[in-house]
Each structure stands twice: as structure tokens, then as C-alpha cells.
Amino acid sequence: MKRLQLAALLLAAVLLPASSSLAQTVEQIEPPSWWAGMKEPRLQLMLQGSQIGSLRPRLHTPHAGVRMLPPERVASPDYLFLNLHIAATARPGTLQIELLKPDGRVAQRLSYALQARAPGSAQRHGFGPQDAIYLLVPDRFAKAGESVSNAEMLEAEDRSQPGGRHGGNLAGLRQHLDYIAGLGFTQIWPTPLVENNSASYSYHGYAATDFYRIDPRFGRNEDYRDLVAEARNKGLGVIQDIVLNHIGAGHRWLRQLPEPDWLNQWPSYTETHHARLSLLDPHAAASDRERFVSGWFTRGMPDLNQRNPRVARYLTQMSIWWVEYAGLSGLRTDTYSYSDRGFLADWSRRLMQEYPRLNLVGEEWSPHPAVVAYWQRGKRKHDGYVSHMPSMMDFPLHGALLAGLKEDDGHDSGLTKLYEALAHDFLYPDPQRLVLFEGNHDTPRLFSALGQDLALWKMALLYLSTAPRIPQFFYGDELLLTSPAQRDDGRVRADFPGGWAGDAANGFTGQGLSAEQQEAQALVRRLFNWRKSAPALHGGRSLHYAPMHQVYTLFRQGGGQTVMLMLNKAKEPRRVDMTRFREALGSHSEGHDVLSGQTRRWSESLELPARSALLLELR
């Protein structure tokens, strides 16, 4: 099924005939550069240009440690895949490559940079439980300077449209790195920054039209690299959001596919049915598995076929290139399980081979812990599948947190759901490396999801910061931004107040914020700055107690520190029997209130105010 023709609509719209030009000129080389000293010696260069497929490559000037291997020719005459073997002894320098015509004449000479790696690059540390992540949508965060006027970009700014481009850019983000660091966050995750050249709805970044180019409306590749370097100097790592599953319909490949099976193709347009459990279901029909993986995400997002070895190699090298070029601390992979499983195993292995301490986190939007656990490395799978992914997004615990706070408590509802979701940690090989989020770019705003109830919002924040996970926070939630309760991407991804000249309120300076917004922002700032120096939250032991009388209690212990969190959802004060927690408390009878700075003491019991959260550090 994967080898059948593209839908007629797509063919008519985007597939053009091969050029008949005799110029035989290379117009694109990807990756655009590489590095000496990588673990994997093989490098494949994808050359694109008019009628170059018949050319014969060779190294014009010998370069010690570098050999040209036989090239790979594909169906399209406008592509040629060069294979290089770069030994560990190869030195940085410029490779001189000649492309010869069949009669031996030189059609073109290329210079290709083999660069030196940054010191310590291979052993870079990725993000982990000691970190807290600030997720932002670059187009909606802040704008600095003038709008980019570029005739090749199909969509211009229109801030009046929720789904349009609003003009946020790298320069605007760079101006406010101190704000993010000041809130206590140590990692930034921007949604994808690579070029998305579509006529509309291009701001989100998940429909790439050039994998190796920062969208010029955000800035240049060099601007991105400078941003990452400056963020690092301020104690902030940068996690890049990448998409392995699909591209945008405006990608140049669709004007002339390298090979018929470069994309997953169907007799007519076929969309994925999102039945992710079909991959694990022992009773699933093969056709269901095929449709989940090979169906297109949308008409505007053609599905890549990673079972083609050149597609797989391209995506893997692209991922490594950005880590090395920009100096990243991790990758977040969108729609993770929609890609071919064999490819994902090799992709994650290859990244961790090159960067053993890097972190990778995959999006698996499932409420089932067993499904998320399947993809994390170290998990013994029922089907023998081996994954090398260190981390996954914890959608099950996210859903349980919202349900735990919104629902009435019962034997299988409310706080019981939160308790039981964390109890499922026995399914995960490394649960503390999962990323827990209070909200993201695809979910309603937390404050709205909780009925604009500030007390519940505070409970969610305290749980997020103390749970045995890597916490991720969504930009603007510190200002209690709201959204429709149902999914509405354009409004969820609202402009950050103060990110544009003339905004009535300014979250960066505090001007024009309501008292509630100021209180919420101060809570985030205090909580996550405290968390940075709380060793019990960076990998310690977890101990929690089944909810009783609408009170749930969680302890974290490690590094000589014990942290206690109590959530009281009741509409009246609760006197909690502290003797129940003797296993966790030991001889402790007082603790430091992290939020108020006061000392709380108890003997047999401790009173919690109605609808409140208590976070104590026990010394």
C-alpha cells in the first residue's frame, strides 16, 4: 500500500515534472556541514539540483581520514546521495568534491565544511529532574525590531487573526531570557522554529518546509545559535522541538520527490485514525497498524516514510546536526509514535550513541501509562521492541492531575485518580525522567481547565513542582491567561502580554496586571527558584498516602532533605492526623513553609485551611 501513487489531488497540486535543463547544477546540500570526531563514521549528503543524478562524485583533493563511498542514485534525476566515510582520525577542514559528467568532464566543484566540535560536545548534559522547563510559542511570545519582509514567505503578519502569524521572533525571546530565568526555570522549549512556508496557519511550526533553516520571520540560523549561547550563559538550556513524522505540503520535495516511496502513499487521501494502541494491541488488525503509522496527519502534512533508508538517515542526521550546530540540551519529538517503530529505535539509539548524556522526550498523547511506558528505554516489551528514549511526556499523570482537582472525590474519582496515576510508576523503567506538564500548546489553559479557580490552580502548581517528574510549564500561565475550555489552538497560544509595543498589560514588568495575576506570578517565581536548590526533588525517594477526607499527601526525600506536600480540596478546614505519616516524618515535628517562610509545628495533628495546599521543607 505504501508504494501506490499519491492522491490525485496532491499530484495535481504539487508534483511537477523533472527539469529538462542540461545545466546539472547542485542547488542544495544537506546536511549543510558536518563535524570531525563523530561516533558514526558514515555520512550521507543529499544533493539536489537539475539533472545531477547521473554525475559521478569524487574527492578532488585527498583529505586524510575521509573516503568517498559509492553514491546512491534514485528515481528522480534531480537528486544524488553521496556517501562519505569519516574516520575518527579525520581532521577538520574543507572537503573539495568534484562532480563529473559521464564523459569525465567536471560539471561542478563543491566545498564542504568538516568542522571541529565544541569542547565537551559529546558529553553535554541534557535536561533532567533537576530542571524545570518553560514552553513557549515563539510567534506569540515577544517581538523585537521590524517585521521581516520576504517575498518568498507566503504568509504575512496579521495579529488580528488567532490562527495567523503575530510576529514574535528570536530577538524578542532573547530580550526576555532574564525574565524566564528569573521565574526559576532552567530550560526553554520553543515550539518548532524551522521554516514553515505555508499560505496560512504557518506560525505553529509543525509543518516544515525546510528542515535546516530557521524560519526567516523568526530570524537566521546564526540568530538561533546566538540565542542558545546567551541562554546558556544565563543558566538556561534550550530544547529543540522537531517533527520526524511529516512535512508541510509546501516543502520543495513535493515538486519532485526523490523516490516514489519518499512519502507514505495511498490510492486516495487517507488520514491516520490516531489509534495509537493498535501498535501494541495483540489483537489489532494489520490494516489498523498501517493506517496509524502511514496515514497522513492532515492534507497539509504529508507523511514521511522512514522505512526508506535514505529518509531515515536524513532525519537522523538532521536531528544530530541541530544538536551540534546550536549547542542544544535536548530534543522534544512531536507525534513520536506515528513514525515507523524500527526507525524510532534506531533514531534514538543513534542520538544517544553520539550524546550519551543528552535527553530526548517524545510526545505520546495517551492516557494509558502502559502505552507511554512502552517507549521509554529500559522497558521490557511484550514484543521484544527496544527503545532508547530516555524520556516521554507524561500525559496520563497530566490528565489525572486535572481530574484529581476538578472531580468530586470517590473510590475511583478525584484525588484517587491522582494517587493511582502516580502508583502506576511500577510500569515505567525510569519514571522520574518523564516530563509532567500543567498545560501545553495543545491543551486548554490551566486556569480555564480548572474553572478559573485560583485555589485549584495553586494546588496544581505545587504538585507540578514536587512530583517525581521533570516539570514543564506553559508560558503565560503565570499570568492566569485563559482560553476556551474546548480545544482552540489560536486562543490557547495567545500573545504574551507585554511582548508587543503598545500592549495594555506587561507581564515582563508587571505593569497593568491584576492583583490575582501578580499573586500567581509571584507564586511561580518563588516556587521554581526554591525548587532549584531542593535536592529531594532532583531524584529522591517518593512516598505518598492514599487520599482521605479530600486530603492527599506526598513526600519527597533525598540529599538530606524531606519535602511534604498536602493538598486539601475540602471546602472546610481539615485536621490531619500526623501520626499516620510517621514512616515519612520520622522525628520531625516542624517544617519550613516554602511559600510563607514561616515555621509550622505539630504534635498529633495539623490543621489545613479549606481549599489549600501546604508545602513544607523538613530540616
> Using an 8 Å Cβ cutoff, are 530 and 575 in contact?
no
- Tens digit of each residue's pLDDT (9 = 90 or more) over 28-69: 999 999 999 999 999 999 999 999 999 999 999 999 999 999
Superfamily of domain 137-254+332-505: Glycosidases (3.20.20.80)
Distance CA 245, CA 242 (A): 9
Distance CA 266, CA 302 (A): 11
Cell output for 298: 492532515
Task: Please tell me which residue in 223, 324, 363, 477 is annotated as part of the active site.
Answer: 363
Q: How much is the average pLDDT of 166-190?
A: 98
CATH 2.60.40.1180 positions along the chain are: 537-618
Q: How much is the average pLDDT of 519-531?
A: 98
- Tens digit of each residue's pLDDT (9 = 90 or more) over 360-410: 999 999 999 999 999 999 999 999 999 999 999 999 999 999 999 999 999
- Tens digit of each residue's pLDDT (9 = 90 or more) over 539-554: 989 999 999 999 999 9
> Using an 8 Å Cβ cutoff, are 396 and 421 in contact?
yes
Within 429-504, where are the H helices? Answer: 446-449, 454-466, 489-492
The DSSP secondary-structure symbol of 444 reads -
- Tell me what pLDDT residue 22 has: 55
- Tens digit of each residue's pLDDT (9 = 90 or more) over 488-507: 999 999 999 999 999 999 99
Residue 363 is among the residues annotated as catalytic for this protein: yes
Distance CA 542, CA 548 (A): 19
Beta-ladder partners of 332:
241, 361
Pairing of the two strands 551-558 and 561-568: antiparallel
Q: Does domain 537-618 have CATH number 2.60.40.1180?
A: yes
- Tell me what pLDDT residue 14 has: 35
> Using an 8 Å Cβ cutoff, are 492 and 459 in contact?
no
Distance CA 506, CA 523 (A): 17
Based on the number of CB atoms within 10 Å of its own CB, is 487 exposed (0-12), middle (13-18) or buried (19 or more)?
exposed
CATH 3.20.20.80 positions along the chain are: 137-254+332-505
CATH 2.60.40.10 positions along the chain are: 8-117
Q: Give the model's confidence band at 222: pLDDT under 50 very low, under 70 low, under 90 confident, else very high.
A: very high
Q: Is the bond preceding residue 497 a cis peptide, omega within 30 degrees?
A: no
Residue 590 pLDDT greater than 90, yes or no: yes
Residue 224 pLDDT greater than 60, yes or no: yes
Instruction: Write phi, then psi, for 61 (nearest 5 degrees).
Output: -120, 125
Task: Please tell me which residue in 223, 241, 334, 409 is annotated as part of the active site.
Answer: 334
- Tell me what pLDDT residue 147 has: 86
Distance CA 31, CA 42 (A): 13
- Tell me what pLDDT residue 8 has: 35
Residue 139 is among the residues annotated as catalytic for this protein: no
Residue whose entry in the numeric block shows the C-alpha cell 542514485: 73
Fold classified for 8-117? Immunoglobulin-like (2.60.40)
Sheet holding 26-30, edge to edge: 26-30, 42-49, 79-86, 66-72
Distance CA 383, CA 100 (A): 48
> Using an 8 Å Cβ cutoff, are 85 and 42 in contact?
yes
